[in-house]
Amino acid sequence: MTPASGNLGDLNRAHDPDRIAMIDAGPWDAPITLSHGEVEGRANAVARGLLARGHAAGERIAILAANSADYLIAYFATMRAGMISVPVNWRFPPETISYVLRDAGVSFAFVDAAQVATLPAGLPHAVIGPGLEDFGTPGTLDVFRPTDDDVAMILYTSGSTGVPKGVPLTHRGHMWAAETRIRANPASAEHRFLVAAPLYHMNALAISKVAQLAGGSQVILPRFTEERYLEAIERFRCTWLTSVPPMMARVVRSDEILARVDRSSVTIVAMGSAPATQGLFDSIRETFPGARIVYGYGTTEAGPANFGAHPDGLPTPDLALGHPLSEARIRLADGDDLNAEQGVLQVDCPALMPGYHNLPQKTAEAMTADGYYVTGDIMRRDENGFHYFVGRADDMFVSNGENVYPVEVERLLESHPDVAQACVVPVADEIRGTRPIAFVVRAAGAGIEAQGVKDHALAGGPAYQHPREVHFLDEMPLASTNKIDRALLTEQAEALAAAG
């Protein structure tokens, strides 16, 4: 399965060259279908184009664009040529984009036409889209053979608490991650994956490499909307859905679209990168009968493969992230206790970053002396070794002297049949320090009011964590990674509190 080159951009040489690899559904009325052989040829041509322009191994090449087949071709080509790919969130403000390009030391960029204006003056670039196939000349390529320590890409964190941090990731580590996920799903080659989460984020980028390495096919949407996502399932007979839980929460509430779309092809619904609830699991099973739900966990710093099936074959419970993989060192830290049943997750695995780019102090803060990455995620371990997400340590707030983890409250609220989604945020309170505020999306046709939400919280949990105010929304706002925009809702809660 591992390509002889060991290069993360060289994933499809062993496959039938005539087999479909990618369907670019961006041009919806005329989708672009590429075989594995065509992807191979285009990636080689773009890599040859970079080399012909004088770019050398180790240079940083940015990609600043919406999802497309050419996005992935540019990504693979950069690494094949020995250069370092830098996918950039095109939804960042212009000043943040400029910061990322400077910090990474980017010498060339592949961009959408709409993003050209965001580039620093004088930065060489090529526009993704018609004509990219002429960027380089067709032909064979002597693919760069990396060492174990060679960096393949630098991904940048979202920067919600300051400027984004660059995370260098190696060829070897993320080849291991892709191979590990394929071993967990040996039939990956037979699947047609639907990719709509942004490719500048670990979630979508990792599963796209799995599809390519396994020899399967993937349908690529430029961005997520419920309508296009569901229509793509029917039109292209997608079998494996990739998503972030807030995406699926919108999908299962799209009654009008669901009524007219055939979803019978779906056999796997995969979610990751954000918390899920039992209510969402139940709704997914109703929406996609017979589909298996895969609920995963990963971080940019430690990769997408930390947990998997139980070594004794025990079924994974709903909401469990799985059992630690044999090649991953996993521990929960509660103060000095490094074997706690609940605590901050610390990880060491082959996909672990070597350290933040240009940030030795941040690296020292994030890594332990014995080589573990401190994720900041609070986890709970059950008696069988399954791990469950409790909440982010930096999302936790104190109300009346008690620790409140928003995810726990949200799961409680969403256990009410009339609540489709909930997001809980803190607001300053002179007496309690902070008080919980809930934003709620009602289930279709439900008429629950604020008091009903509060009563449900009081009946199912401690009084200190029940929301003191409830605000209803038609839908949750999503951030650029398709997670719920918790920062925006916190701002709205503060504004509502200030207005009385």
DSSP single-letter state for residue 146 = -
Strand 433-442 relative to strand 469-473, pairing: parallel
**Is 230:288 a contact under the CB 8 Å cutoff?**
no
Contacts of residue 383, defined as CB under 8 A and 6 or more positions apart, other chains included, come to none
Q: What is the pLDDT of residue 161?
A: 56
Strand 192-195 relative to strand 240-243, pairing: parallel
The fraction of the chain above a pLDDT of 90, given in percent, is 77
CA–CA distance, 396 with 344 (Å, rounded to integer): 12
**Is 257:226 a contact under the CB 8 Å cutoff?**
yes
Q: What is the pLDDT of residue 53?
A: 96
CATH number for domain 20-295, candidates 3.40.50.12780, 2.30.30.40, 3.40.50.300, 3.30.420.40: 3.40.50.12780
Contacts of residue 180, defined as CB under 8 A and 6 or more positions apart, other chains included, come to 305, 308, 325, 327
Q: Does the pLDDT of residue 160 top 60, yes or no?
A: no
Q: Does the pLDDT of residue 20 top 90, yes or no?
A: yes
CA–CA distance, 66 with 5 (Å, rounded to integer): 29
Start-end of CATH 3.30.300.30 domains in the chain: 397-498
H-only helix segments in 105-199 = 171-184
Q: Please state the CATH superfamily assignment of the domain spanning residues 307-392 in this structure.
A: Luciferase; Domain 3 (2.30.38.10)
Determine phi and psi for 471, rounding to 5 degrees. -120, 135
More reliable by pLDDT, 162 or 166: 166
Q: What is the mean pLDDT of the chain?
A: 93
Start-end of CATH 2.30.38.10 domains in the chain: 307-392
Element (H, E) at 237: none
Model confidence over 352-371: pLDDT tens digits? 999 999 999 999 999 999 99
Q: Give the residues across from 32 on adjacent strands.
A: 24
Start-end of CATH 3.40.50.12780 domains in the chain: 20-295
**Site of tokens 């400027």:** 163
The CA angle 446-451-457, to the nearest 5 degrees, is 90
CATH number for domain 397-498, candidates 3.40.50.300, 3.30.300.30, 3.40.1280.10, 3.30.479.30: 3.30.300.30
Q: Does the pLDDT of residue 266 top 90, yes or no?
A: yes
Nearest to 174 by CA among 47, 85, 302: 302
CA–CA distance, 27 with 68 (Å, rounded to integer): 10
**Burial of residue 230 (number of CB atoms within 10 Å: 0-12, 13-18, 19+):** buried
Model confidence over 29-85: pLDDT tens digits? 999 999 999 999 999 999 999 999 999 999 999 999 999 999 999 999 999 999 999
Model confidence over 98-145: pLDDT tens digits? 999 999 999 999 999 988 998 999 999 999 987 787 899 988 999 999
Element (H, E) at 110: strand 106-111
390: left (phi over 0), alpha (psi -120 to 50) or beta: alpha
Q: Does the pLDDT of residue 304 top 70, yes or no?
A: yes
DSSP output for 439-460: EEEEPTT----HHHHHHHHHHH
